[in-house]
Chain A
Amino acid sequence: MCDTCGCNITSGNRHLLQPAGKLEKTADGKSAVTVLQSLLSENDHQAMHNRQHFDKHGVLAINLMSSPGSGKTALLEATIDALADRYRIAVIEGDLETENDAERIRARGVTAIQIATGSACHLDAHMVHDALHQLNLADYDLIFIENVGNLVCPASFDLGHHHNITLLSVTEGDDKPAKYPVMFRAADLMLLTKTDLLAVLDDFDPQKAEQCLRQLANPAPMLSLSATRQQGLEAWFDWLDDAITSHRGRLEQGETVVPKIQSDGARWHAGEPAHP
């Protein structure tokens, strides 16, 4: 985000900026100062800085978001087992408490940094930056950030990653995208997980889940898989291969990509130098 070039100006607030706009002076003579800056501009600057770190070392960073228990860690375990000889992988884990998930990842022979947020319901760019200090980015191709299990808050914070992946397990209900539009609108890919359970569920319709996603004007692909039963994983691995190849191509052109939730303003400025 930036407050100098007008990229924060939208059709919703443009009227405030016009000459002699209503914000110039208040009725009782107090000075009015127009700011028009994202409430999260500090976070966004840190996120841009994190992204530059990733890009400098050719790392693709992926943010995994979902409800607690939808299978993020199981997906990572299956992914590491299949791809660890192809890519150098590290994981940043976000949870309120415990190192449980990080220990599961380390058991697969991969570095995992645990961020215990205490009571915070999301990761932010500053927390991820602290975690990055514990990783030598030159040693990795792919970094997963497993966000705190929560379908609300994580969607509002850019961490400096490149893609958002939102998991929806089939035990949660096929109308979740309609109920949590901010989260599902942010998804660059929606993974329908635990699909082996569809056989015993009579109230989850994958087509309806996809329809709810489309109603958010989101064209993101939806892939179905079961990490524990090893079903549908190939399509997910193909998506990852494509994402890594595309990212390397972009970096060669001096470009990067920001996750979907960011406004166009942030996208235009993705290549600007680090904030002082």
Chain B
Amino acid sequence: MHELSICQSMLSQIEAVARDNRASAVHRVKVQIGPLSGVEPQLLQQAFPIAVAGSIARDAILDIELLPIRIECQQCGGESEATANKLICGHCGHWQTRLLSGDEMLLASLELDRATNKKTATC
């Protein structure tokens, strides 16, 4: 259960991006998670509100995009999808494969309200 510490690390990145963009609020946080990242999406979803409480992202929605495991065979060169504990080539059955995707743990994008977008009141 290391998802809370991962969320806390993510929050400091969110705060940095929000600062750079002079954002007044963060509405949505999109992350990409692969099955081989060691992160459990459900636990990340539960840990997120705890980590962001009181921060600029306190009302943000966490959007988790699950990425498939894709491998490339070093023998036949074919690409195939695989499961987490069976990374063998779907075409020739060889075990010497290279992971193309499936271990990602990425903060993909943020939706922000930018302070500079706000109209200043005129009288």
Contacts and interface: CB of A to CB of B under 8 A. Distances in A.
Interface residues of B, number: 51
B5 to A, nearest CB: 7
A124 B113 CA distance: 33
A32 B111 contact: yes
Contacts of A40: 6, 9, 105
Interface stretch (A53-61, A177-185, A246-254): A177-185
Contacts of B98: 217
Given A181-B84, A182-B37, A122 B97 contact: no
B27 A30 contact: yes
B91 interface: no
Contact of A38 (B68, B88, B106): B106
A153 B30 CA distance: 22
B25 to A, nearest CB: 9
A228 interface: no
B57 interface: no
Contacts of A79: none
Nearest to A13: B32
B67 A13 contact: yes
B1 A215 contact: no
Contacts of B56: none
Contacts, number: 140
Nearest to A180: B85
Contacts of A215: 85-88, 95
B108 A217 contact: no
A157 B6 CA distance: 10
Interface stretch (A4-12, A84-92, A103-111, A134-142): A4-12
Nearest to B67: A12
Interface string B68-108: 10110000000000001111100000011111111111111
A155 interface: yes
A167 B80 CA distance: 30
Given A214-B95, A217-B97, A121 B2 contact: yes
A31 B97 contact: no
Contacts of A263: 103
Interface string A34-47: 11111111110000
Given A30-B113, A40-B9, A153 B106 contact: no
Contacts of A120: 2, 5
Contacts of B67: 10, 12-13
Contacts of A121: 1-2
Contacts of B101: 10-12
Nearest to B105: A39
A200 interface: no
B21 to A, nearest CB: 6
Interface string A140-184: 000000000000110111000000000000000000011101110
Contact of A122 (B2, B27, B104): B2
26 contacts: A10-B100, A12-B32, A23-B108, A23-B109, A31-B112, A31-B113, A31-B114, A32-B112, A33-B21, A33-B109, A33-B110, A33-B112, A34-B109, A35-B107, A35-B109, A35-B110, A39-B6, A42-B12, A42-B13, A120-B2, A156-B2, A214-B95, A216-B85, A217-B88, A217-B97, A217-B98
**Shortest 3 CB-CB distances between A and B: which pairs?**
A12-B101, A156-B38, A217-B87
Given A12-B68, A30-B27, A216-B87, 7 more contacts: A12-B34, A36-B108, A42-B9, A121-B2, A153-B38, A155-B38, A156-B105
